[in-house]
Structure formats: C-alpha cells, structure tokens
Structure 1
Amino acid sequence: MKKQFKSTRLFMLMALLLSVGLLSSCDTETKDDAPALGNWQKQSDFAGVARNSAVSFTIDGKVYVGTGYDGTKRLKDFWMYDPAINNWVRLPDFPGDARSAAVAFSAAGKGYVGTGYDGVNYLKDFYEYDPVAQTWTQIADYPATGRYGAVALSFENAGYVGAGFDGNYQKDFWKYDPAAGAWVEQIGLIGAKRLNGFAFTVNGKGYIGGGQNNSLYQTDLMEFDPATGQWKSLKGLTSDDRPNQAFPSGRTYAATFSIHNFGYVVGGNNGAPLNDVWKYDPAADQWTKLGDFKAGIRMGAIGFGVGEFGYIGLGNSGATRFDDLWKLNPTTANE
C-alpha cells in the first residue's frame, strides 16, 4: 500500500509540475504575441482625384493638400481637410503650372508651395497661401536651380528647402524668411546629395535622411538646428552604426509626420515597395517599428500630424493611385 501511495503521490506531483510549466509557457506566448501599438483608422476619402507626389502643409490644426500626378497629367487643384469634422473643402487652385514632386512648408501662419516637375521642366517658382483670405500670392523664386524631389522643413517663423534633382543630384539648403520676403542660403546638407529624401521636424529641430543618389539608397541621418544653422550627423541606418538595434532601411518616396515629440516614417521604396511604419525618438536617437501601414504598400503619399494623431493618404502602388486617408493613434494597439 505504501509503495502504491508513493507512486500515486509522485504521479500527482509530476502532473502538477507539468501543468505549471504549460501555464508559464502560455503566459510567455501571450506576452510575445501582444499586439504592437499603432492603430490605423480610415478617415474621409480625399475629395479630389487619386494621385501621388502631392504636397501638404498644416496651419492651425487644418491641413492643405494639392498638386500631384494622377497617372496621366499633373494637377493644380487644392483642398483643405479639417480633422475636427473629418471633411474636405475645395480651395482656389494653385496658381502656378500644374506639377508633381513639389515641396511645401508652413511658417508664420501661411503656407508655401514651390519647385517640382511639370512633365517637361524643372520648376523654381514659389507661392504663398493665406488661409484667412484664401488667396495665393507669388513670392520670390527658389534662388537655386529649378528641381523636383527636394526636401522641406517647417518651423514657426521660417521654412527651409534643399536637395532634390535638377538634372543632377543636389544638397544645397535655403531658408525662406516670410518677414523679409527673402531666401537666404544655409550650410548645405552635410551628408550625401539626394532625391526624394524624407524630412520631419521635432521639438524645434529638423531631421533629414533617406533618398537616392545615383541609384544608391542613402542611409545617413542628419539633424538641423535652425537656431544655429548647424548640422549634426546622427547614427546612420546601418547595422554598423546601430548594432543590435532596429532601424528602417534607406528609402525614397516615404511619407512622414511628427506627433508626441516623435517623428514617423511610413512606406516608400528601397528597390521594392514598402509599407512598414517606424517611430523615431530624437532624444534617444532610437527607432521603433510600429508594424505595417494598414492600407498596404504606399509610395509618394502625403503625411501630416495634427494634435494627438498622424495621418497618411494618397500615394501609389505601381500604376494604382489612391485617394484614401488613414489616421494613426500611436498609443493604442494595432488591430
């Protein structure tokens, strides 16, 4: 009897240990499979025709979107999106030639659009939009060569434009001062020349990276301080610079926005079309992947941040162009 009792007790103990192990394994799996933060929700479709390589800028919580390419022709229509009511309103058309791959920035309560490509010419004309009067005014041309695929940075009282392609790859950099109505040359990008790089601003500083130079996808990352006019090289987007860290690949045609003191880079192309979503923390110089863009592969899209949320819309995947708009809540789980 004692031998049988010992055997029974040993069996029960082993069963208990096995069940604890299984429960521990399930708990670990649940944590590993927890959904990543970054929930995308579809918004009201853009009211114009589907397009890629449009421009956008934000003023006082409203977003202004226009120009671009619909696969057949360049465009010059312009629209305002109000995130508070999730609605689009048509504005007076952009007064310059229809174009794609232009740049835009906002400064001192007004929006600015210029450069780009009209299908024949590299452009350098620039225009100011007054959202109160709803009028466009031509300002001084971009002072360097006409170009497309440049980058732009928006700050409170000034905008910056540089790089791009004018028949050659460029890395010059210029400041537009709305108060003076004039362009002032700055120190050029300290990294490579580039076409279709990505750019965003966080906490009063600008960040530029990515793009393409002579068929090479650029992996450098730079920080620009408008208070000093100086550049700082950050760790590049390579395993040598960031061992044992996650980071996005070098790419072109990515969309960007900034919210919550972070910059975001979405999609683009690195030889293959992309739909990954990356968050950049300038304070830690660290990248975090937030899964994939819910609407799929996207190049040449627009991106903007308003309040607590980021937005991505329009763009193309191959010959397919989009007129959708999606909102990212970075603090809730991806569904």
Structure 2
Amino acid sequence: MRLLKILLVFALLITAYGKGDTPSNFEDDSDSGNEEEVVDNEEGQDDDNQNQDTPPPNNPPSSFSLLRFTNGMENVELVNPEFSWEESIDPDGDTVTYSLLFGMGDMEPTTVIAENLMRTSFLFETTLSRDTFYSWQVIASDTNDATTDSEIYNFTTRPIKVSKLVSEAEFEGRSEHTVLVFDGKLWIIGGVDRFERSDEVWSSEDGINWTKITNNAGFESRGEHASVVFNNKIWVVAGIDNLGNPLNDVWSSEDGLNWTQENADAPFAGRLDHSLTVFNNKLWLIGGEDGTYELDDIWMSKDGVNWELITDDAEFPARYGHSAVVFNDHFYLIGGLNSNQGSGFGALNDVWSSNDGINWQIETVDAEFSPRWSHSTTILNEEIWVIGGLGGGRKNDIWSSKDGINWTQEIPRDDQERFSSRFNHTCTVFNNMIFLIGGNDGSRENDVWTLIP
C-alpha cells in the first residue's frame, strides 16, 4: 500500500514538469531560431549592397589581324609606307585606340612609333632604312587600360634601285668628262669621246633626251678637268688637252653656250684629275697630278679669278683621281692614287675631313670599300655615295656612308640589271636620284643609269 502511494506521487511530479516552465539549464529553441533568422537577413542585405557597389568585370578588345604589310613581305618601299590592320571591337562598348610598335633586325617591336591612334592605319612620314629587316606589332587598348596585342609581323625593305635609263644617248661615248646640274638641267662638259678630247657641251631636262649646246665651247678641248656651279655660273678649271699638256686656266659660263676665260694662267700648276668643290661660298681646288707627280696642295678662290695657296703640303698624302664633297658642313676627301712620290701608297681608300678646308683629320685610313681612284662620289639623302672606279681592275660596286667612317655596300636585287664595271665616269644628283653617265669599261660608254636609294 505504501509503495503504491510513492508511485502515484512520482507520476504527478512528471505530469507537472511537462506542463511547467523550462528549467534554467535548457535554452528556448524558439528564441534561438528567431535570432538565426535575423542574422541571415542581415547577411543577405550585405551581399545585395556588395553586388550593387562592385562594377562588372572589364573585357579587353577583341583580337585582330595585321593587314599591311603582310608577314614576310619583301621589297617594301622606303618612303611614306602605310601600315594597316583590322578593327578591334571592345565587347563592353569602350573606345579602342591603337599603338604601333617597331623593331629592327633581331629586336622585338618595342619602339613606339605612334600611339592613341583612332584609325586602323598609319602613314609613316619618315624614310625607312634600305634593305633592312623590320618587325611590327599593334596594341589595341580600351578606356580602362585593357589591351590586346596583335601578332608580330616581319618585313624587309627594298635595296637600292638601279635602272638603265638610256643605252645609247645622243652624245658620243666618253670618259674623263664632267657632269653637273645647272638651271634645272643635267650638263655634260668635255671629256674623251671615241676619238679625242672634246669641248662639247650637252644638256638634258630628263637624262633621256640630250641637246648639244655647243660643239666648240671656246675653251680648249680637254678631259680630266673639274666643273662646279658657283655664283650662278658653270665653272671649268684645268684638265689635260689633246696634246697631253696639263692646263691651269679657268672658264665660266652663265648659260653653257657662251664662255668667258676668267684666268688664262692661274697661279697653281697645270694639272689633271684634281678635285674642285664649293665650300663656305668659296672654290677649293685640291691635288691632282701635273703630268709627272701627284700633288697635295690646296688652293682657294672667292671669285674664281684670284687664287690663294692654302698649303702646298696638306696633312693627307698627295693624290690624284680622288673625290671631294661637302657633307654635314664638312669637307670630305676620299680615295685616289698615290704612286710616284713620297711613300708610294698606290690606290687609296682613306677618308679625310675638314671643317675649314685648311686643317684636316683622318676619319679612316682603311674604309670598307677597296682602294680606288677615278671613282665618282656624290651626296644624297644625308649619305655619301662612292661608285665604281679603278684599283685592282674596274669596279661597279656601290657604297654609302652616313658619317664618312662606316661604309655599307649597297647591293641591288638579283633581277635588276647592273651597269658595267667602269672608271672615269661621272655621277650627280638630279630629281632626287643619282645619275651615272658614261665612263670607261674597256670602251667609252654613252649610257645613262639612275640609282634610287
């Protein structure tokens, strides 16, 4: 009976516990669930704010191809080449600009030629280097600095162009003549034709069609003389006549037809194969030979009539058959022959320079071109050009230099015709081309060639 009462009390306690408050050592599950729901809502709001603040990712411009010049292209022209490429489209609608990069030789294209270009082409306004391997690339950029690089293409520029303009001009084949440009025309003066030295004067407006201005210029027939344009006149100085006499007279003409003897017996010795150059508004006569020995004297004239001896023993070895040109405000003396006096060097390939015509310095005693004389030298496109000559045989090579020290042989394409090896020819610049006229290749020629750097 007592046991029954205890069980009854225990049952009542269990019933009361189920209906009463939760003991302090347990948490209310409903309250905990509400707190988690609040936290979840706050985190969701933060995510929404972050999505609103973060911009969408920027995409680079689309890929594109280079059009001109194509990869591996050869004989690209040097002047004003125009490069082009496909348009690059930005998927985000951003404005796309382009940068053009160049490399030379084995170098990658890292030199920026142009940037911020809006067009898909670029006209190169400076002249490319001849016969040179280039690489190029274009980089497309959007307004957010995302970029897309094109492929790298390579091309090679053309070498020098050599063309025969006339096979047989109206004048007789000749050597030892002079050629110059005066009054917008080419002029040929004197020289040895197929039979004897002459005093003819010819002119041409195009190098193709030639007109004989006079068959008898008034001065004695001659070859291996020197001619220049000075004070709006043509000047002819010294040379050798048909009897083999070295001359020391001076002549001038305002029209190539009528000639005036300015000095019948200049103070310098009669000579041939000398040089005559205009430098600092004066005439300068250098070297040559007097029929027996080569010379190393320098004479100067302010008017072509009166001549002053600058030195009778210049720093450079005596010579004849050399050339002298003015380049970058300096006087340059190139090559020639020293054989009969002094150390007897023979053919020379040295280069000397002077900034005043009085004091000379050696630029190179052994240029890359072989020793020679009776060659021709001219200036075009800020380069010195040495062409042909005699020395170990006749020559038809072409050399250029930007400084008178370092020389590069210019080799035309294999499919271009070459002028024959020759000496005592002449070269001058006309219409931005080098004109090579006549010379001795075993016979005396009357052909005309053009060289386009």
Q: TM-score, normalised by structure 2?
A: 0.59
Counterpart selection for 2:247 from 103, 123, 132: 123
Report what 2:406 is aligned to: 286
> Structure 1 181/126 Cα, relative in aligned 2: closer, same or farther at 3 Å?
closer
CA RMSD of aligned residues (A): 2.9
- Structure number with larger C-alpha Rg: 2
Q: Which residue of 2 aligns with 1:87?
A: 209
2:322 counterpart of 1:197? yes
305, 321, 333: which one aligns with 1:208: 333
Cα distance per residue 1:137-186 (max 9 Å; x no partner)? 101243211011111213473221121111211011112222x7321222
Shift of residue 71 of structure 1?
4.1
Distance in 1 separating the partners of 2:278 and 2:210:
23
Q: 1:229 to 1:63 in 2, by over 3 A?
A: farther
Within-5 A mapping of 1:55-66: 55-66=178-189
- Residue among 384, 392, 401 paired with 1:271: 392
**Distance (whole Å) between structure 1 residues aligned to residue 210 and residue 331 of structure 2:** 29
1:1-335 matches, cutoff 5 A: 37-44=159-166, 45-83=168-206, 86-92=208-214, 93-118=216-241, 119-131=243-255, 134-140=257-263, 141-155=265-279, 157-166=281-290, 167-178=292-303, 181-187=305-311, 189-214=314-339, 216-226=346-356, 229-238=358-367, 247-282=368-403, 285-291=405-411, 294-318=418-442, 320-330=443-453
Return the alpha-carbon distance in structure 2 between the equivalents of residues 303 and 108 of structure 1: 22
CA offset at residue 324 of structure 1?
A: 0.8
- Aligned 8 A contact 1:190 1:222 in 2: no
TM-fit CA distance, 1:100: 1.1
Distance in 2 between the 1:51 and 1:229 partners? 34
Q: 1:60 and 1:207, CA in 2 relative to 1: closer, same or farther beyond 3 A?
A: farther
Residues 210 and 31 of structure 1, relative CA distance in 2, 3 Å threshold? closer
- Kindly indicate whether structure 1 or structure 2 has the higher relative contact order, using CA contacts under 8 Å at least 6 residues apart: 1
How far 1:101 moved relative to its partner?
A: 0.8
Structure 1: distance between partners of 2:132 and 2:333 = 35
Q: How far apart, in 1, do the equivalents of 2:279 and 2:229 lie?
A: 7
Q: Contact (CA 8 Å) 1:219, 1:236: kept in 2 or not?
A: yes
Name the CA distance, whole Å, in 2 between partners of 1:306 and 1:156.
22
Q: Which amino acid aligns with 1:327?
A: T
State the match for 2:53 in structure 1. none
- Match of 1:148, as an amino acid? L
Q: Once structures 1 and 2 are overlaid, which stretch shifts more, 252-261 or 201-210? A: 201-210
Identity score, percent? 22
CA contact (8 A) 1:63 1:80 kept: yes
Offset at residue 86 of structure 1 (A): 4.2
Q: Return 5+ residue gaps in structure 1 as ranges.
A: 1-26, 239-246, 331-335
The residue type paired with residue 190 of structure 2 is T
For 2:308 and 2:227, locate their aligned partners in 1 and report how far apart those are by CA, in whole Å. Answer: 17
* Cα shift readout 1:190-212 (whole Å, capped 9, x = no counterpart): 21100111222223322112111
Does the Cα contact within 8 Å between 1:128 and 1:136 map onto a contact in 2? yes
- The CA deviation at 1:134 is 3.8
| Alignment-mate amino acid for residue 67 of structure 1 | G
Q: Relative to 1, partners in 2 of residues 1:256 and 1:31: Cα closer, same or farther, differing over 3 Å?
A: closer
2-side partners of 1:96 and 1:49: how far apart? 19
**C-alpha contact 1:115 1:122 (8 A) present in aligned 2:** yes
